[in-house]
């Protein structure tokens, strides 16, 4: 039986690739795609999620809009990485696929109550929708099979500030709710995503696949300009698809069960994931923090799945 998942997302080119990977994978049943404000405002992330479903030919998947701002702070966006539309690199249009009615937070709660213990939540953006759902319906904490999220950093530290990764930085209070929820969590931090780089050979392999591969190559070509200028190296990190790849082939990854706490007080280190990698405290383990990945295996999987379109 396919694993039921909900993808909570702020597309974002790398979010889009993660969605394409999930929708191409029969091991996964995508129950809903829930949009959140993050890389760009909600009006664009929900539209972009619908565009990705149309590109994938999967207009059967419900797309819902969620929170348009973090729990307690003004929204910070990342157009400097993703472009004005969030999906720069391809032509962005108003999709025919309508939004599904209702609020994403309510849909997450309903799905979990209808299938307790069966759904994995896959947040690819700020954790606002997930935290709002946990606050509105505390009973769902015991009904979430696992949360597998892209966010945070340890050795690689920050990308939006010297201390913090973007998704956690944007809504640290939401992240604190999630990490304090008691739900089993897998974290795909920058330490991992900065190892899956969009090298020329890997992107050429996408391009050779035809329409979907060319779309993915156009997206990675776009955000690569920014990332290569920033980090140097051979290509850009493909962050969010790591979440879906971990679900499909966890053997490509390795990590440790550790304690992770979120900095919410200090402005200097706001959104830092204080990850006790070396076990120097006796704080309870609350997350499987991934530290390494077989990058070639990851790209082999992604290319093979994109080739199924």
Question: Omega of the bond prior to 12 within 30 degrees of 0, cis?
Answer: yes
Our finding on whether 111 is near Ca ion (CB under 5 A) is no
Q: Identify the residue among 15, 88, 111, 227 touching Ca ion (CB under 5 A).
A: 15
In the list 129, 158, 166, 293, the residue contacting ligand BDR (rule: CB under 6 A) is 166
Nearer of residues 15 and 191 to Ca ion, judged by Cβ: 15
Q: Which of 5, 298, 3 is nearest to 147 (CA)?
A: 5
Dihedral of the alpha carbons of 299, 304, 307, 309, in degrees to the nearest 10? -110
Give the range of 19-27, 121-129, 155-163, 219-227 binding Ca ion by CB under 5 A: 121-129
Contacts of residue 282, Cβ cutoff 8 Å, sequence gap at least 6: none
Residue 118 to residues 66, 115, 143, 246, Cα–Cα distance (Å): 22, 6, 8, 17
Structure letter (DSSP) for residue 237: B
Query: Nearest Cα to 147, choosing from 178, 111, 102, 115?
Result: 178
Q: What three-state secondary structure class fits 269?
A: coil
Nearer to ligand BDR, 62 or 125 (CB): 125
* Cβ neighbours of residue 229 closer than 8 Å, sequence gap 6 or more: none
Binding mask 212-251 for Ca ion (x = CB under 5 A): ----------------------------x-----------
Angle between helices 13-23 and 42-55 (to 10 degrees): 40
- Please state the closest distance from residue 152 (CB atom) to ligand BDR, in A: 9
Q: Which of 80, 103, 194, 239 is catalytic?
A: 239
- 37 forms part of the interface with ligand BDR (CB under 6 A): no
Minimum distance from residue 129 beta carbon to Ca ion (Å):
13
Look at residue 191 and give the partner it binds from ligand BDR, Ca ion, none, a contact being a CB closer than 5 to 8 Å depending on partner kind.
none
The smaller minimum CB distance to ligand BDR, of residues 18 and 64, is found at: 18
Q: Give whole-number Cα distances, 74 to 105, 151, 273, in Å.
A: 19, 19, 20
| Cβ proximity to ligand BDR, 106 vs 195, nearer residue | 195
Q: Which among 154, 128, 138, 149 has a CA at the least distance from the CA of 247? A: 149
Residue 308 phi/psi, 5° resolution?
Answer: -80, -15
Q: Is 239 in the active site? A: yes
Q: Is residue 276 part of the contact set for ligand BDR (CB under 6 A)?
A: no
Interaction of residue 150 with ligand BDR, rule CB under 6 A = yes
Mask: binding to ligand BDR, 103-132, rule CB under 6 A, as x and -?
A: ---------------------xx-------
H or E element at residue 273: strand 273-275
Taking the least distance from each CB to Ca ion, the nearer of 125 and 152 is: 125
Site for ligand BDR contains 159 (CB under 6 A):
yes
Q: Please report how close the Cβ of residue 262 comes to ligand BDR at its closest, in angstroms.
A: 15
Whether 179 contacts 141, CB under 8 Å: no
12 binds Ca ion (CB under 5 A): yes
- Binding string to ligand BDR for residues 7 to 26, with x set by CB under 6 A, is what? -----x-xx-----------
Give contact residues for ligand BDR (rule: CB under 6 A): 12, 14-15, 39, 78, 81, 124-125, 150, 159, 165-167, 239-240
Q: Give catalytic residues, as residue numbers.
A: 239
């Amino acid at each position: 039986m396919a694993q039921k998942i909900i993808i909570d997302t702020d597309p974002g080119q790398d979010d889009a690739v993660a969605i394409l990977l999930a929708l191409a994978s029969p091991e996964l049943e995508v129950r809903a795609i829930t949009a959140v404000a993050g890389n760009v405002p909600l009006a664009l992330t929900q539209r972009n999620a619908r565009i990705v479903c149309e590109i994938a030919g999967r207009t059967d998947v419900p797309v819902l809009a969620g929170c348009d701002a973090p729990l307690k702070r003004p929204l910070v966006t990342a157009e400097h990485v993703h472009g004005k539309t969030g999906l720069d690199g391809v032509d962005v249009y108003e999709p025919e696929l309508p939004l599904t009615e209702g609020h994403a937070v309510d849909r997450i709660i309903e799905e979990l109550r209808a299938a307790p213990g069966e759904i994995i939540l896959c947040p690819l953006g700020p954790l606002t929708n997930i935290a709002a759902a946990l606050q509105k319906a505390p009973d769902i904490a015991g009904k979430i099979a696992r949360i597998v999220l892209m966010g945070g950093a340890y050795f690689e530290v920050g990308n939006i500030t010297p201390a913090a990764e973007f998704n956690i930085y944007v809504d640290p209070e939401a992240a604190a709710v999630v990490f304090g929820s008691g739900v089993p969590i897998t974290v795909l931090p920058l330490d991992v995503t900065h190892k899956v780089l969009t090298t020329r050979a890997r992107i050429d392999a996408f391009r050779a696949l035809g329409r979907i591969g060319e779309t993915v190559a156009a997206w990675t070509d776009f955000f690569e300009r920014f990332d290569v200028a920033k980090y140097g190296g051979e290509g850009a990190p493909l962050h969010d698809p790591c979440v879906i790849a971990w679900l499909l082939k966890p053997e490509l990854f390795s990590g440790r069960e550790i304690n992770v706490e979120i900095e919410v007080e200090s402005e200097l280190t706001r959104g830092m994931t204080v990850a006790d990698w070396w076990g120097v405290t006796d704080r309870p383990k609350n997350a499987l923090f991934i530290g390494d990945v077989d990058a070639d295996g990851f790209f082999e999987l992604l290319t093979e799945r994109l080739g199924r379109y």
